[in-house]
Chains A and B, each alone.
Chain A
Amino acid sequence: MKKKLPWTLMLGSLLLSLAACGGSDEAANDPGGAGSEAGERKLSGSILAVGSTAMQPLVDQAGQTFMTQAPYQELTVQVQGGGSGTGLTQVSEGQADIGNSDVFGEEKLEAAQAAELVDHQVAVVAITAVVNPAVTIDDLSKEQMVDIFTGAVKNWKELGGEDQEIVIVNRPASSGTRATFETFALGQSKLPDLQGSIQEDSSGTVKKLVAETPGAIGYLALSYLGDDSIKPVNYDGVQATVENVQNGSYPVWAYQHMYTKGEPSEAVQAFLDYMVSPEVQEGDVVELGYIPVSGMQVTRDAAGNVSKN
């Protein structure tokens, strides 16, 4: 009996864990059960928004002020990062109320999953190429940028700069910022990573590396500019400014989406309305370096077609 005990334990636990996993994907895909309480929700309870780290500061700050307002004091807004993919996955599986994403859901999810989601655009982010301050170039045409990011040009002197190797500081292939930059600045999608390019997963690190590495080029959201440690580069002669984005002359920008699965509940709808209210659009959005979606004179659909309002 003594000898048999460990075996029975092992067998028992094996059976238990197999039963626990049991091939049921819902159970396996709910790490930590970050689910929202199902069923009817009055204007009390909690709203869980998960996803894009680029949007986190905005949603977080707006959520804080939202909770202090009289009608919504019973509500709590929780904001978590994890990336656009995580946000879209969790909202389409019903684990989060809101999925924050800086790309259209169609780009990450299966068509059937994306069709269930309702898009709420709350802000715009513009992205500009930035170089190390020692690089003497201030303006790059679209063709030159394509040459740089596809590896056709490897040295700044080929573009009229100093004799200095180009070091590309990229975001990972799955990043929303990278997808936006490749689609609207280079007109390509899913460029392969070049030998010797550097990938970092946060804009803060990209900024640091471009500032320190001789000959480096990367791309950042406008909110990361504002000091002299890096130098923004004009795109086809157009400077990345809020005005140029809003009037449609600067093309490299993306919406910040807050997706819900189907029509949102009353509480979630109240929060989404608050996000597009003048208070947030002219306050938090501008203050944190995003561009108000209310001021856009152009709109863009999921296929990338831009039209004048």
Chain B
Amino acid sequence: MGQMGKDAALNQGVKNRKRREKHYWEDWIGRIYTSICVVVLLVVIVSIVFFVSSKGLATFLENGVRLREFFTGTRWSPDESFGALPFITGSFAVTLLAALIAGPLSLCAALFMTEILPGRGKRILQPAVELLSGIPSVVYGFIGLTVIVPFIRDYIGGQGFGILAGCLVLSVMILPTITSIMADALASLRGGLRESSLALGATRWQTIYRVVIPTVLPALLTGIVLGMARAFGEALAVQMVIGNAPHIPSSLTESAATLTSTITLSMGNTAMGSVHNNALWSMALVLLAMTFVFVILVRLLERRNRI
């Protein structure tokens, strides 16, 4: 009897140790696998930043283009003069205007899905908005080229190409990004706030604009900033409708250019290592720096959100 008990205890001990060892190994495998993935990711990111920086800085270090000329010059004539200001202004103009158009639209869509018709509204509107994010940008560009550009030319005037066409196309493209982030933010509103406000006798609209929106404002702005980052980096669709003249346009309906459209237009036709090619990499570096700024903005907004 005692012998049997001892055996059982021994068996139990062996089993336990085996189980412990198994856990121990599983733990380590998980840890190593995750670490490898993280290292690979970091290596890729750092390599990309390093590559773009080394190419982009070569314009100033090796080819002797002056920083001031690049950022404030308005004459872009490859091999002679590298003023990238028209592209920088173009990029900012389409991005800001697209955010101005898409921001309010997205906010209303998100409010509709979370506050006004939470059940059915969300079921119908969310898939509809998310569909927009699945359309490839070349399709947006082509629709812009065949529908928006002639429309602007015939009914608003000018050439049809330009910042106006560009920001209209972009605003539709960034709608899903902004809407889904805003809807998540509104849905995650702390319990009780909404109900308390209604219990105090506030109407639904008063609740929305006095309680709901101010509370989740940083998260809403995060949505807009991420949308802007997407607009700033979009190349193909913008290139098709903006006209690509390397000048600061005199109106919203005159041919203009952005950083991304200029890069996609010329990268393939210039030889690696030439000044023209390096100048394009410098523009890519500016885009990278801007994305970095957008990321920092989002971080700041998140920090504000926690308080």
Contact = CB atoms under 8 A, between A and B. Distances in A.
A199 B38 contact: no
Given A89-B272, A174-B269, A16 B153 contact: no
Given A21-B51, A199-B244, 18 more contacts: A13-B38, A13-B46, A16-B43, A17-B43, A20-B47, A28-B51, A29-B272, A85-B269, A85-B274, A174-B78, A174-B269, A192-B77, A193-B77, A193-B246, A196-B245, A197-B245, A199-B243, A213-B159
Contacts of B274: 85, 108
B266 A213 contact: no
A10 interface: yes
A213 B276 CA distance: 30
Interface in B224-268: 239-240, 243-247, 249-250, 254-255, 257, 264-268
B76 interface: yes
Interface string A1-43: 0000000011011101110110000001100000000000000
Contacts of B50: 17-18, 21
B245 A194 contact: yes
Interface residues of A, number: 45
A244 interface: no
A212 interface: yes
Interface in B44-62: 44, 46-47, 50-51, 54
A196 B153 CA distance: 14
A108 to B, nearest CB: 5
A85 B270 contact: yes
A81 interface: yes
B150 interface: yes
Nearest to B150: A212
Interface of A: 9-10, 12-14, 16-18, 20-21, 28-29, 53, 81-86, 88-89, 93, 108-109, 167, 172-176, 190, 192-201, 205, 208, 212-213
A160 B247 CA distance: 29
Contact of B269 (A13, A18, A93, A172): A172
B35 interface: yes
25 contacts: A9-B35, A13-B42, A17-B44, A21-B54, A28-B54, A83-B270, A85-B272, A85-B274, A86-B269, A86-B271, A88-B271, A172-B266, A172-B269, A173-B78, A174-B265, A174-B269, A192-B77, A193-B77, A194-B247, A195-B255, A197-B245, A197-B255, A198-B159, A198-B161, A205-B145
Interface size class of B (residues with CB under 8 A): 35 or more
A85 B270 CA distance: 4
Nearest to A212: B150
B266 A173 contact: yes
B277 interface: yes
B159 A196 contact: yes
A276 to B, nearest CB: 26
Please give me the 3 A-B residue pairs with the lowest Cβ-Cβ distance, nearest first.
A83-B268, A174-B269, A13-B42
Nearest to B48: A17
Nearest to A8: B35
A190 B276 CA distance: 13
Nearest to B44: A17
A196 B162 CA distance: 9
Given A13-B39, A174-B270, A196-B159, A21 B47 contact: yes
Nearest to A10: B42
B79 interface: yes
B265 A201 contact: yes
B43 A13 contact: yes
A85 B273 CA distance: 11
Contact of B145 (A29, A190, A208): A208
A179 to B, nearest CB: 9
Interface of B: 35, 38-39, 42-44, 46-47, 50-51, 54, 75-80, 145, 150, 153, 159-161, 239-240, 243-247, 249-250, 254-255, 257, 264-274, 276-277
Given A13-B43, A16-B39, A199-B244, A81 B76 contact: no
B245 A193 contact: yes
* Prevailing SS type, chain A contact patch: mixed
Contacts of A20: 43, 47
Contacts of A198: 159, 161, 243-245, 255
Contacts of A88: 271
A18 to B, nearest CB: 7
Contacts of B277: 85
B42 A9 contact: yes
A201 B239 contact: yes
A89 B47 contact: no
A14 B46 CA distance: 7
B269 A176 contact: yes
Contacts of B250: 195
A158 B89 CA distance: 34
A186 B251 CA distance: 30
Contacts of B159: 167, 196, 198, 213
A97 to B, nearest CB: 18
A235 to B, nearest CB: 24
B153 A213 contact: yes
A192 B77 CA distance: 6
Nearest to A14: B46
Nearest to A197: B245
A15 to B, nearest CB: 10
A208 B160 CA distance: 14
A131 B80 CA distance: 30
